[in-house]
């Protein structure tokens, strides 16, 4: 009998040679991923629709950055054009839609915004814009819940460990429910950017009064969330047949860039490029924008510069399992939907089809990967805690 792996390998070759990728991207989240939705629901001035937002591109588009955002880079790496905001009535949605909107939360009722659940409802209302095949092969990308934890930390300055965990559990349960709705509509490929150390955002530090240190509680909530989110994805991949995911450790990327800014080409990871106050944490306007946004990690008090977003985009797309696992986005895109084999076998076969890739990425056993990520989180809780004290 033929070696099962070479059989799989042949199937994969067949897959790659006969199936073209649908190249569809659906984006869910908050201001970090908002490509212009906020301006369609807000009764007030939306800062991101005016300079200095967009200055690096020469045009304010409703994106909360001086230029491009992460979904723009990922779309371009996928070989498709920018994914338009779903609320723009006349747009080309053939390669997907962006449902993300500033101030979005998982829980509660954010004013002039959409919860994750409302974003998923919007997706469901529009899903016939895409074929069932496109919806299954599509990437579903998420960055959500930072405002849940920032609001929580503001309203609950001294929660007990049980209270913190109970709140995280509610957020994760709500995310789980939405992932199951999307899975029910055919979604199979889910990509998460985990939460930043929220206490390191210039806006949060400045509001806290001590800008030298990251604020402990918001970062701790993000850490608890990230750990539980990874557990959820591992669990869903066991529970739901064909559920595939990519989990990017944004928390560490930001922490590294705040502490060792220069290593990552930034002059500073402490202060924002645009705004007022000791670290430019609030009120970004044309009268207080820096001359070189590319020298900064943060553009305003809560959002990254285009340069920061470019680095994140590259890490999600192509970095190794210590940063994004068990698959990076490029691998997630290529994983076949219809083969019942272990992920590790598929990745091994994939790597054999892409000899150049082997040099930069180690092949990973998924079980080992999971346990290492677990350990990494435990290690990071220690590290983050000592750093934040």
Ligand X SMILES: *[C@@H]1O[C@H](CO)[C@@H](O)[C@H](O)[C@H]1NC(C)=O
For tokens 């199951």, the residue is 180
Q: Is 290 in the site for ligand X (CB under 6 A)?
A: yes
Q: Is 288 in the site for ligand X (CB under 6 A)?
A: yes
Length of the chain: 389
Q: Which of 56, 105, 253, 268 binds ligand X (CB under 6 A)?
A: 268
CB 206 → ligand X: shortest distance, Å? 11
CB 309 → ligand X: shortest distance, Å? 19
Q: Which of 42, 146, 226, 280 binds ligand X (CB under 6 A)?
A: 280
Would you say 117 or 288 has its CB closer to ligand X?
Answer: 288
CB 277 → ligand X: shortest distance, Å? 9
Question: Could you give the angle at the alpha carbon of 25 between the alpha carbons of 23 and 30, nearest 5°?
Answer: 165
Residue 156 and residue 151: Cα distance in Å, rounded? 8
Name every residue whose Cβ is closer than 8 Å to that of residue 115 and which is 6 or more positions away in sequence: 104, 105, 106, 107, 108, 109
CB 283 → ligand X: shortest distance, Å? 11
Count of residues that bind ligand X according to CB under 6 A:
7
- Residue burial 235-257, b: 16+ Cβ < 10 Å; e: rest: ebbeeeebbbbbbbbbbbbbbeb
Dihedral (Cα; 371, 377, 383, 386), 10-degree rounding:
-130
Would you say 224 or 290 has its CB closer to ligand X?
Answer: 290
* Residues of span 172-231 touching ligand X by CB under 6 A: none
CB 284 → ligand X: shortest distance, Å? 9
Contact pattern from residue 297 through residue 316 relative to ligand X, giving x for each residue in contact according to CB under 6 A and a dash for the rest:
--------------------
Nearest to 26 by CA among 179, 147, 148: 179
The answer to whether the CB of 280 falls within 8 A of the CB of 267 is no
CB 344 → ligand X: shortest distance, Å? 46
Question: Could you give the angle at the alpha carbon of 363 between the alpha carbons of 376 and 249, nearest 5°?
Answer: 35
The answer to whether the CB of 174 falls within 8 A of the CB of 109 is no
Q: Which of 271, 324, 366, 384 binds ligand X (CB under 6 A)?
A: 271
- Contact region with ligand X (CB under 6 A), list: 243-251, 284-292, 312-320, 332-340: 284-292
- Contact region with ligand X (CB under 6 A), list: 32-40, 288-296, 302-310, 321-329: 288-296
Got the DSSP string for 134-170? HHHHSEEEEE--HHHHHHHHHH-SS--HHHHHHHHHH
The answer to whether the CB of 261 falls within 8 A of the CB of 356 is no
Residue 303: active-site member: yes
- Contact region with ligand X (CB under 6 A), list: 177-185, 285-293, 300-308, 370-378: 285-293
Neighbouring-strand partners of residue 28? 142
Q: Is 105 in the site for ligand X (CB under 6 A)?
A: no
Instruction: Write out the catalytic residue numbers.
Output: 303
Interface with ligand X (CB under 6 A): 268, 271, 279-280, 288-290
């Amino acid at each position: 009998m033929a070696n099962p792996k070479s059989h799989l390998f042949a199937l994969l070759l067949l897959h790659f040679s006969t199936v073209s990728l649908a190249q569809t991207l659906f984006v869910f989240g908050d201001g970090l991923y908002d490509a212009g939705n906020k301006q369609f629901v807000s009764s007030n001035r939306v800062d991101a629709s005016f300079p200095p937002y967009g200055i690096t591109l020469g045009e304010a588009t409703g994106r909360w950055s001086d230029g491009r955002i992460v979904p723009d880079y990922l779309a371009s790496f996928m070989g498709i054009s920018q994914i338009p905001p779903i609320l723009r009535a006349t747009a080309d949605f053939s390669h997907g839609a962006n449902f993300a909107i500033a101030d979005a939360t998982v829980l509660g009722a954010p004013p002039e915004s959409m919860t994750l659940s409302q974003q998923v409802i919007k997706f469901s209302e529009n899903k016939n814009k895409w074929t069932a095949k496109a919806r299954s092969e599509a990437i579903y990308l998420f960055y959500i819940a930072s405002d849940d934890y920032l609001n929580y930390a503001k309203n609950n300055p001294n929660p007990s460990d049980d209270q913190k965990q109970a709140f995280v559990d509610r957020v994760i349960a709500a995310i789980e429910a939405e992932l199951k709705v999307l899975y029910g509509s055919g979604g199979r490929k889910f990509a998460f950017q985990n939460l930043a150390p929220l206490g390191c955002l210039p806006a949060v530090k400045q509001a806290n009064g001590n800008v030298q240190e990251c604020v402990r509680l918001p970062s701790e909530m993000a850490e608890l969330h990230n750990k539980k989110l990874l557990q959820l994805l591992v669990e869903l991949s066991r529970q739901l047949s064909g559920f595939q995911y990519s989990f990017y450790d944004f928390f560490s990327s930001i922490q590294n860039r705040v502490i060792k800014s220069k290593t990552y080409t930034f002059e500073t990871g402490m202060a924002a490029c645009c705004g007022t106050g000791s670290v430019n944490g609030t009120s970004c306007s044309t009268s207080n924008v820096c001359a070189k946004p590319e020298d900064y990690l943060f553009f305003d008090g809560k959002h990254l510069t285009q340069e920061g977003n470019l680095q994140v985009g590259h890490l999600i797309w192509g970095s190794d399992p210590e940063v994004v696992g068990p698959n990076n986005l490029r691998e997630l895109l290529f994983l076949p939907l219809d083969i019942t084999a272990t992920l590790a076998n598929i990745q091994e076969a994939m790597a054999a089809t892409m000899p150049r890739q082997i040099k930069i990425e180690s092949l990973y056993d998924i079980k080992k990967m999971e346990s290492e990520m677990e350990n990494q989180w435990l290690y990071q809780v220690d590290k983050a805690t000592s750093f934040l004290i």
